[in-house]
Structure 1
Amino acid sequence: TQGLSLGKAACILTGASRGFGRSLALLLAPRLETGSVLIPVARSQGGLAELEAELRSSFPSLKVHSVQADLSTEDGLQLVLRAVQDKLPGAADLERLLVINNAGSLGDISKSFLDCPSPAEVNSYFAFNVTSALCHHILHPEGLPGAPWLVQDCRPFKSWTLYCTGKASRDMMFQVLALENPGVRVLSYAPGHLDTEMQQLARTKSADPEMREQFLRMKQSGQLLDCSVSAQKLVTLLLQDTFASGAHIDFYEL
């Protein structure tokens, strides 16, 4: 993949301020040709500001326009939409639109299935983790070619009812997108067990003691992945572009 490029592209990356999203932004940037636009989206203004400053310093030919937005709300989605409309006026001049749905949360993993949270908590979780990804069709400006849409997936874990259900919903949602739109490249990427704040929550807050112990052992034995290692695998997948649209590819399969 050395020397390969994603061309002159517009890239919208959610959950960009830390962890996997931040690593991905820094690895995608050098693969975007002059005139490309990168729109990192996150709830953390501080993290976004740091990322934007680093990107502008290291890649001066890349146009970076970060957006602070809560994607669990209609207002947050509209903020991103307006940024896309404002920053991509010359859509016909771009070769590719790349939308990466990386934003997500664990939900309340301190409760088992039978102790499921209130309907309001469930609806709030799905608004952020499913509805926001479903509504990203509004981010597809007229005149741009099809784009890979990237989501994450997981296996069933005890006490992770909301998380696992949300990821399965997203995976199926994007399989439907792939079937309906042959011109759009769709990929669901499972990044593996990453050494992030989410993993820290997993080994301390999971209701199931076996789950806590499993993740603790992974941390202590050095089995957790650095975000940049997994992000590089994803960038390689995009550059090679040989996956079947709608496919689900796990880091550990590569």
Structure 2
Amino acid sequence: IFHNVGSLGNLAVETARMENIPEFRKYYDLNVFKVISLNTQFLTLCENIEDRVIIVNITSLCAIKPMGGMAYYCSGKAAREMYFRVLAEEKKHIKVLNYSPGPVETAMIDNVLDEAINENLRDVFTTFKNQGTLLKPEVTAKKCVKVLLAGKFSPGEHVDYFD
């Protein structure tokens, strides 16, 4: 199973001013809690074949490296990645990969440029876009499959496109 759901959260609020708890809860519901719930249901269905199960969590460098202006996104990705690392620790016979696809050419880039109030964040994403360093979705997807087929990742490991 591939867990690829993801939203950016509110990019128009500074981290020190994040006080809208219902908004934050809604973000975590989609990006963390529903992923955990879906994964739990999946594992229940696959209980008898757990040794053949492969779980891929699509994560981000933002899960392990803070990015100013993206507190929702970074904290959500970090929470989700840690859940899958703990799962891998508990269920050593299940293959669990936290795959970071790199900066991918999707609508997310434009959303950051349109909505972010953090200048540095906008500069980073503008540079990605202007220098042509964004990855095509199919390119990073092929790398993910290559990593899975090689099977040389440790349980729950964070593997980045550029590794």
Q: TM-score, normalised by structure 1?
A: 0.59
Matches within 5 A, 1:106-185: 106-135=8-37, 136-140=39-43, 141=45, 142-146=47-51, 147-151=53-57, 152-153=59-60, 154=62, 155-185=65-95
2:97 match: secondary structure: strand
CA–CA separation in structure 2 for the residues paired with 1:130 and 1:166: 6
Q: Which residue of 64, 84, 109 corresponds with 1:199?
A: 109
3-state DSSP of counterpart to 1:145: helix
Higher helix share: 2
Structure 1 segment 222-233 matched on structure 2, within 5 A = 222-233=132-143
Whole-angstrom CA distance in 2 between matches of 1:206 and 1:117 = 17
Instruction: Select 1:246's aligned residue among 143, 152, 156.
Output: 156
Q: What CA RMSD, in Å, does the superposition of the two structures yield over aligned residues?
A: 1.2
* Correspondence for 2:144: 234
- Measured in 2, the distance between the counterparts of 1:227 and 1:148 equals 21
> Is 1:186–1:245's contact at 8 Å kept on the other side of the alignment?
yes
Q: Give the C-alpha shift of residue 104 in structure 1.
A: 0.8
Displacement of 1:207: 1.3
Tell me, in whole angstroms, the C-alpha distance in 2 between the residues paired with 1:238 and 1:217.
30
Larger Rg computed on CA atoms: 1
Q: What is the rounded CA distance, in whole Å, between the counterparts of 1:200 and 1:168 in structure 2?
A: 23
**Aligned-pair CA distance for 1:221:** 1.1
Unaligned runs of 5+ in 1: 1-98
Choose between structure 1 and 2 for higher RCO, CA contacts under 8 A separated by at least 6 residues.
2
CA positional deviation for 1:122 = 0.7
Post-superposition offset of 1:143? 2.1
Segments of structure 2 that go 5 or more residues without pairing to the other structure are: none
Whichever residue aligns with residue 54 of structure 2, its letter is P
Q: Residues 117, 150 of structure 1: CA spacing in aligned structure 2 closer, same or farther, 3 A cutoff?
A: farther
Displaced runs of 4 or more, over 4 A:
none
Q: Distance in 1 between matches of 2:87 and 2:25?
A: 23
